[in-house]
Amino acid sequence: MTKFNVLILGNASASPTLTRNQTSQLINIGEQYYLMDCGEGTQIRLREHKVKIQRINHIFISHLHGDHYLGLIGLIQTMHLLGRTSELTIYCPGDIKQIVDVHLKISESHLKYPIVYKTVNSENSELVYENDKIEVISIPLKHRIACSGYLFKEKQKPRRINPKALKTFEVPKYQINKIKLGEDYIAENGEIIKNMRLTLDSLPSFSYAFCSDTKYLESIIPIIKGVDLLYHESTFADEHADRARKTYHSTAKQAAEIALKSEAKKLIIGHFSNRYADLNVLLTEAKTVFENTEIATQGNTFEVSFSQ
Amino acid sequence: MTKFNVLILGNASASPTLTRNQTSQLINIGEQYYLMDCGEGTQIRLREHKVKIQRINHIFISHLHGDHYLGLIGLIQTMHLLGRTSELTIYCPGDIKQIVDVHLKISESHLKYPIVYKTVNSENSELVYENDKIEVISIPLKHRIACSGYLFKEKQKPRRINPKALKTFEVPKYQINKIKLGEDYIAENGEIIKNMRLTLDSLPSFSYAFCSDTKYLESIIPIIKGVDLLYHESTFADEHADRARKTYHSTAKQAAEIALKSEAKKLIIGHFSNRYADLNVLLTEAKTVFENTEIATQGNTFEVSFSQ
């Protein structure tokens, strides 16, 4: 089973508190690290969880409000101080390059590693990154400035070798790699053994969607349809629905509506206004709409491949 | 006695650790707050110490390396979110305005309060701020980029009323304010009673010098001569003196040399390289030169008016 999980490094909105850092998450897919947002203090939280920061090669920023990116400059500089040479790619719908550049220029810092900037289209969903195992798709959100969520999807996995079938058809060892790649096997007597008969169904592919910050937005639904784990911002409780609407944020119930309508398997809620000392208010409201909801508690790791 | 103390909010250099934030100090002089440097996470440390951040009206930045200012943008934004309307003044030898402006522009933030920027001369010592009680003087330092320390000095305090003398000379109550202001008293019989005879010596005035980051620099000495409390960076131990020289930093011994030669009453050392898990190495080295040295431990408050 490929590892696929999400470590919550912060779940506060606007201002940090003593127990809630601002938004940041570390997504681990098969020991490849992807950093999702980078609020102030993220590098300290990474250190707390003993994450080797040089293994982060891709940083996704949802939007350029301070609570989602103010830890980025410090992280970039620490990567440099610790001797990084490998490329770092930053995905963002806004001009993060201009911000990083002014810091580097004025502090007279010359990074030893290259940064690649990818401007994310926040109007139309698009493929922003892929490798042979996963793809990352932008989720246009509706906030006060250009803002994008991200859908991390494992690609279709290869079918698995069926050792019993290999034995039955006396497949020689040197043929196994070809079969793994999907080829049929031609037996010595000329008989063609279809690949399907030699292999088992592939393991399921999982997906994780990060949606913050946004007002209630149904155009998200077709993009994330059937997602295994959905993180959706829940800045406010129902009693502050009006405040949510005005500030382009969501209530816990609205997050749950999106989870329900997109047929997500599970919902985690975060980006809490620090007016709520007790987050159970938000959890309870979400659960009235979508039962399988949890709070994105800072320091918790959520398994995306949970159904296995 | 006027309160005059320094709360250490961080003492790390370069990168923060779990127990050491980057440089920041809160200077309290008679319940007026002055923030000295603002490393990443400073707003969280201020919150931890229950400091009312809106009472900070003056922020002094030594130089624009990330470990001394990266918490500033978040602090500015939190001040805004919490409804600040009063002016904030930022003193800095570099172009901090350019940095703040690009963040505000790109995040489309419109602060409700004005920021005044004062460019500090990092070549020549100058008065950078004064009110009726204190003055703040820049201390040109020698680092890799423009860098300034700051000397916080209480002004000469007024002489104190001597109640016994007032009684002896039968001074009427309505004359007391004039005597407080330094006037003589003319008795009913025409005799002039000199102010000196009606008053006691004024309480002593204290001073605090902040010197970070800098290589060993004797030109500091005449500026801070006789200072009550000196904070001097001590990034390295003696064994890394060469590294200190190359990076324009000081060793603990060099900090102590400056304390000794400037006849400081007390030295606190900080800005430690995080290669030192045990800071006693640095303390011991400093003490061989200047006995009255302490580590600027994060969370500690140091009294400047300690001799009373």
Confidence of residue A188 (pLDDT cuts 50, 70, 90): confident
- Whether residue A137 is found in the same domain as residue A187: no
Nearest to B14 among A14, A48, A81 (CB): A81
Q: How far is B270 from chain A, CA to nearest CA, in Å? A: 19
Classified as helix, coil or strand, B159 is coil
The number of helices, as runs of H, and strands, as runs of E, in chain B is 11, 18
Residues A237 and A222 grouped into a single domain: yes
Q: Catalytic residue positions of B?
A: 67
Per-residue pLDDT of chain B (308 residues), as tens digits, is: 789 999 999 999 988 988 899 999 999 999 999 999 999 999 999 999 999 999 999 999 999 999 999 999 999 999 999 999 999 999 999 999 999 999 999 999 999 999 999 999 999 999 999 998 999 999 999 999 999 999 999 999 989 999 999 999 999 999 999 998 899 999 889 999 999 999 999 999 999 999 999 999 999 999 999 999 999 999 999 999 999 999 999 999 999 999 999 999 999 999 999 899 899 999 999 999 999 999 999 999 999 986 43
Please count the CA atoms within 13 angstroms of the CA of A134 that sit on its side-chain side.
Answer: 24
Q: Is residue A49 part of a domain?
A: yes
Mean pLDDT for chain A overall = 95
Q: Are A32 and A141 members of one domain?
A: yes
Structure tokens that stand for A30 in this block: 């098969």
**Does residue B308 fall inside a structural domain?**
no
Residue A96 falls inside a structural domain: yes
Last residue of a domain, one of A200, A220, A254: A200
ipTM for the whole complex: 0.84
Domain check: are B51 and B91 in the same one?
A: yes
Question: Does residue A207 sit within a domain?
Answer: yes
Helix residue spans in chain A (DSSP H): 42-48, 66-69, 72-81, 96-106, 163-168, 176-180, 195-198, 221-224, 241-246, 252-261, 280-289
pTM of the model: 0.89
Residue B35 and residue B123 share a domain: yes
Chain B residue with Cα closest to A275:
B82
| B148-154 and B134-140 strand pairing | antiparallel
Rounded Cα–Cα distance for residues B222 and B206 (Å):
16
Domain membership of residue A308 (yes or no) is no
* pLDDT for res B308: 39
Residues A50 and A166 in one domain: no
Q: What residues in B contact A102, CB-CB < 8 Å? A: 98-99, 102
Tens of pLDDT, residues A194-226: 999 999 999 999 999 999 999 999 999 999 999
The neighbour count for residue B64, using CB atoms within 10 Å, is: 25
Residues A170 and A228 in one domain: no
Beta-carbon separation of A71 and B40 below 8 A: yes
User: What average pLDDT score do residues A57-82 get?
Assistant: 97
| Residues in chain B within 8 Å Cβ distance of A64 | 106-107
Residues B263 and B280 occupy one common structural domain: yes
Number of C-beta neighbours around residue A217 at 10 A = 18
Rounded Cα–Cα distance for residues B153 and B192 (Å): 34
Which domain does B194 fall in, by range? Answer: 160-200
Q: How far is CA B130 from the centre of its chain?
A: 13
Domain count of the fold of chain B: 2
Dihedral (Cα; B32, B37, B40, B46), 10-degree rounding: -20
Do A113 and A50 share a domain, yes or no? yes
